Amino acid sequence: MPRSAFLSQTAPDCPASLIAQAATGTAPRVAIARAGAELPMMAAKDATQAGIMTPIFVGEADAIYAEAAKLGWDISAFTVHDTLGEADAANKAASLCGSGDADVLMKGHLHTDMFMKGVLTRDNGLRTASRLVHVFHITPPGRDEPLLISDAAVNVTPDLKTRQACTQAVVDLARARGIKRPKVAFLSATESAIPSVPSSVEAAELCAWAKDNIENADFSGPLAMDLILSPEAVATKGLTDDPVAGQADCIVVPDIVSGNAIFKSLVYMGGGCAGGVVMGAKVPVLLTSRADPAAARMASAALAAILTQNQA
């Protein structure tokens, strides 16, 4: 059997309800670092036409105007900041957000490490007392209910303090999406805290911390993946009194490998649409990838718009 048989042939679709929620407020000003390339310009055009973005283009001006012309898009009404190279674009876009002249920071055509350096440079004004964490918002084909996963993109081996920040971030984003009492699962390979499985012990510690420190949410952990998503597995293992098992809205993962594997499995095998946002900076940060389809880029822009509405 070819390995491709495991892959979904369903094209991801950004939920209409997500875009509609994002469009209820004023479209945020989005500083796009090094915008002069096909994919960031297409994403900006789609989001602008959907009413969920007011773009601020940062990068080589000639390239920005050339890409807009290829799309037949008149960008004369929008601001263009002419910069040279990746570092200049990253710092300029970040400083626009730090100074309050933009509401969202978006990665364009530049390397992730250079982009994140712009976020982390204190002179750009984006750092806060909070830790930076990434949250994926994944919806299955034809459905609006999301599954939130943190952190699958930024923190490689997060310590307990960072995972506490991840827990708060998924709760905050779930509430912003309209989930009044989020159900949060702490992932491990077992439903019992076993010393030989360190992530299970840490999940139990995180769960206890969350119950003591975050109100109006339900928490459970450690839980294996089947007990997070499958009501049938929950019934078989006799955990039906657990308020999270089998019906989680959010997953906090122990490391980037497990989170990345879950997110990509849901996307490539389940046909899910995965928008993502970095939280913890002064503004939402969109860490888009060249591999992201248009639906995922739209979902990410929508999430950022929703977060700016909740920050207002």
Structure tokens at 63: 């390239």
The whole model's pTM is what?
Answer: 0.93
pLDDT attached to residue 2:
57
CATH number, span 135-276: 3.40.718.10
CATH number, span 11-128+281-312: 3.40.50.10950
| Three-class secondary structure assignment of 259-276 | HHHHHHHHHHCCCCEEEE
Confidence of residue 1 (pLDDT cuts 50, 70, 90): very low
Task: Give the DSSP letter of residue 168.
Answer: H
Spatial contact of 209 and 219, defined as CB atoms under 8 Å apart: no
pLDDT attached to residue 4:
67
Across the range 38-56, mean pLDDT stands at 95
Is pLDDT of 46 > 80?
yes
Residue 160 neighbours by CB distance under 10 Å: 11
Is pLDDT of 3 > 60?
no
d(CA 312, CA 308): 6
Which of these, 130, 115, 124, lies nearest to 280 by C-alpha position?
Answer: 130
Q: How many CA atoms lie within 13 A of 16 on its CB side?
A: 1
Percent of the chain with pLDDT over 90: 85
d(CA 40, CA 22): 19
Q: What is the pLDDT of residues 48-70, one digit of tens each?
A: 999 999 999 999 999 999 999 99
Spatial contact of 252 and 167, defined as CB atoms under 8 Å apart: yes
Across the range 7-34, mean pLDDT stands at 91
Helix ranges restricted to H, 81-181: 85-98, 112-120, 160-176
| Average per-residue pLDDT for the chain | 93
pLDDT attached to residue 114:
94
The residue length of the chain stands at: 312
293: Cβ–Cβ under 8 A, 6 or more apart, which residues? 11, 12
Query: Which residues on adjacent β-strands are paired with residue 29?
Result: 54
| Lowest-confidence region among 136-145, 223-232, 260-269, 280-289 | 136-145
Q: What is the pLDDT of residues 168-222, one digit of tens each?
A: 999 999 999 999 999 999 999 999 999 999 999 999 999 999 999 999 999 999 9
Domain ranges of the chain: 11-128+281-312, 135-276
